């Protein structure tokens, strides 16, 4: 493997080498509606079913005859894993019925029920139409999941659910203090995904420095292969590798400042260096042609077909792209390359965090049933079933042990091991969904990577959006402790 320093350049040499070109033009800013009109009233439980008797088998006291309504985002993970866990619920509580619904239109289908006070009991709030978690918390729409966390785990009554979870998962569900509003079921490893087979054909290894990344992209281009692609229709995938790149260069405090909406946080030199590095891919023609118009499926398919070496993504990609992935692809993930020797964090620094957020609405008819279904999902049987089905880790510590893992998931486990304590967890995508996806992603990063804005223009625009969010009194604010 290559050195973690920039080849042939010391200190900030890599930064000095990256140049910007002029903008080609500006595009209009798209907007996305989000859940902004929820009825308040989280304490209104007049519509809720009576609680059941607490027993060793039923520690939360779920009503054993009441139905449970579950809505699952039918995306990269599908919904079979949830159906399987629901079958366990029905086996444990045969007099109950689990009403299952799968959709990709979470917000469109569920906002009316939230506004009307009749939301489901458990929701996988994910995907393009994810309801803004910050808004839901701010408007008292979610139930506190502390009872679930303090309940005995399904497999070991002497161990609480909270004690079975990976580090950081509980904290991710905390938006404003001690209550836990969200249970992240998957454990997602974000980074730069590639085919080990394709690199071997190029007689190359994953580039640990940005100099090596550029050299490899140049080599690939000569053979008609692009260096990178990404979902141009959803450019908020770019931060999956770009945010940890920023944190690696400048330290985790840079990402914390960005999350905290601090003034001038986006003007940090680490942001500038990272943006200029990515813009170098644009200037030198190392982005797959027409990437800016691709959906996530189209980008992944082009990548699977060997048209591009690298794609920023999360660990759901192995399952989501399985139908188009060649058998000898050897799907792998790596941490962002090092920029140069002055990077604050070592190569291997990675973004990994809870994914697939599950929520129990405060005004659900059977919130305790929703929590009990979640407790079952956090049991070893359901957790391992999830990993086997969808090639992803869960938030349950060690649930992958003993399983025969596919290549991508095996590489994700190896990447986590290599990262050690150097795990980053940017919260912008959880705390400020609209800002992260539409403002930063679509209106800024998408424009920069399409060559229509320079890094300097992009940073200025993003800082403006962040400042506007900070000043908006209608948006609830969250900060790192």
> Model confidence over 32-58: pLDDT tens digits?
344 444 444 444 556 899 999 999 999
- First-to-last C-alpha distance (Å) of the chain: 38
Closest CA to 436 of 154, 208, 134: 134
Q: pTM for the full model?
A: 0.79
pLDDT at res. 21: 33
Distance CA 242, CA 90 (A): 43
Give every CB contact of residue 481 below 8 A, 6+ residues apart in sequence: none
- Which residues of the chain are under the pLDDT cut of 50? 1-43
383 — phi, psi (to 5°)? Answer: -65, -45
CA 38 and chain centroid, separation: 24
pLDDT at 102: 97
Q: Is 364 exposed, middle or buried (0-12, 13-18, 19+ CB in 10 A)?
A: buried
**Rounded to an integer, what distance in angstroms lies between the CA atom of residue 313 and that of residue 309?**
13
Question: Residue 37: what pLDDT?
Answer: 45
Predicted confidence at residue 12, as pLDDT, reads 37
Q: What is the pLDDT of residue 45?
A: 58
Strands (DSSP E) contained in 27-129 are 68-73, 98-103, 122-124
Please answer whether residues 473 and 131 qualify as being in contact, where contact means their C-beta atoms are separated by less than 8 angstroms. no
CB 18 within 8 A of CB 223: no
Domains and CATH numbers, the chain: 13-20+188-352+425-471 (3.40.190.10), 68-187+356-409 (3.40.190.10)
What is the predicted pLDDT for the residue at 391? 86
d(CA 236, CA 190): 13
Q: Residue 30 in contact with residue 438, Cβ under 8 Å?
A: yes
């Amino acid at each position: 493997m290559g050195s973690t320093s920039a080849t042939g350049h010391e200190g900030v040499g890599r930064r000095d080498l990256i140049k910007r070109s002029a903008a080609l033009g500006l595009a209009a800013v798209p907007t996305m509606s989000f859940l902004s009109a929820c009825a308040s009233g989280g304490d209104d439980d007049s519509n809720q079913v009576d609680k059941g008797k607490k027993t060793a088998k039923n520690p939360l006291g779920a009503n054993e005859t009441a139905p449970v309504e579950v809505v699952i985002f039918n995306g990269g993970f599908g919904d079979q894993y949830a159906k399987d866990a629901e079958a366990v619920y029905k086996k444990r509580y045969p007099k109950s019925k689990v009403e299952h619904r799968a959709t990709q239109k979470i917000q469109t289908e569920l906002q009316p029920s939230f506004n009307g006070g009749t939301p489901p009991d458990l929701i996988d709030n994910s995907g393009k139409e994810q309801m803004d978690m910050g808004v839901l918390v701010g408007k008292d729409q979610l139930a506190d999941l502390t009872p679930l966390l303090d309940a005995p785990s399904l497999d070991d009554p002497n161990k609480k659910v909270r004690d079975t979870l990976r580090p950081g998962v509980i904290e991710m569900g905390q938006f404003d203090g001690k209550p836990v509003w969200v249970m992240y079921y998957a454990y997602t490893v974000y980074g730069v995904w590639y085919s080990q087979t394709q690199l071997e054909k190029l007689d190359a290894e994953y580039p640990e420095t940005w100099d090596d990344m550029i050299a490899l992209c140049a080599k690939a281009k000569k053979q008609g292969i692009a260096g990178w692609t990404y979902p141009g229709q959803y450019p908020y995938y770019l931060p999956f590798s770009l945010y940890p790149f920023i944190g690696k260069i400048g330290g985790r405090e840079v990402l914390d400042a960005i999350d905290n909406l601090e003034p001038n946080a986006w003007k940090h030199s680490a942001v500038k260096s990272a943006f200029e590095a990515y813009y170098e891919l644009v200037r030198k023609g190392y982005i797959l042609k027409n990437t800016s118009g691709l959906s996530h499926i189209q980008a992944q398919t082009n990548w699977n077909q060997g048209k591009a070496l690298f794609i920023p993504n999360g660990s759901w990609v192995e399952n989501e792209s399985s139908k188009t992935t060649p058998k000898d692809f050897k799907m792998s993930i790596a941490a962002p390359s090092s920029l140069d020797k002055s990077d604050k964090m070592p190569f291997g620094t990675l973004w990994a965090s809870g994914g697939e957020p599950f929520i129990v609405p405060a005004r659900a008819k059977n919130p305790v049933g929703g929590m009990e279904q979640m407790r079952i999902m956090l049991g070893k049987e359901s957790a391992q079933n999830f990993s086997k089905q969808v090639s992803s880790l869960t938030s349950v510590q060690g649930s992958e042990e003993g399983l025969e893992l596919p290549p991508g998931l095996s590489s994700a486990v190896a990447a986590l091991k290599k990262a050690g304590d150097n795990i980053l967890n940017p919260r912008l995508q959880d705390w400020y969904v609209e800002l992260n996806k539409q403002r930063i992603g679509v209106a800024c990063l998408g424009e920069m990577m399409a060559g229509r804005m320079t890094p300097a223009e992009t940073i200025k625009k993003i800082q403006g959006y962040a400042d506007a969010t900070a000043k908006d009194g209608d948006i609830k604010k969250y900060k790192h402790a």
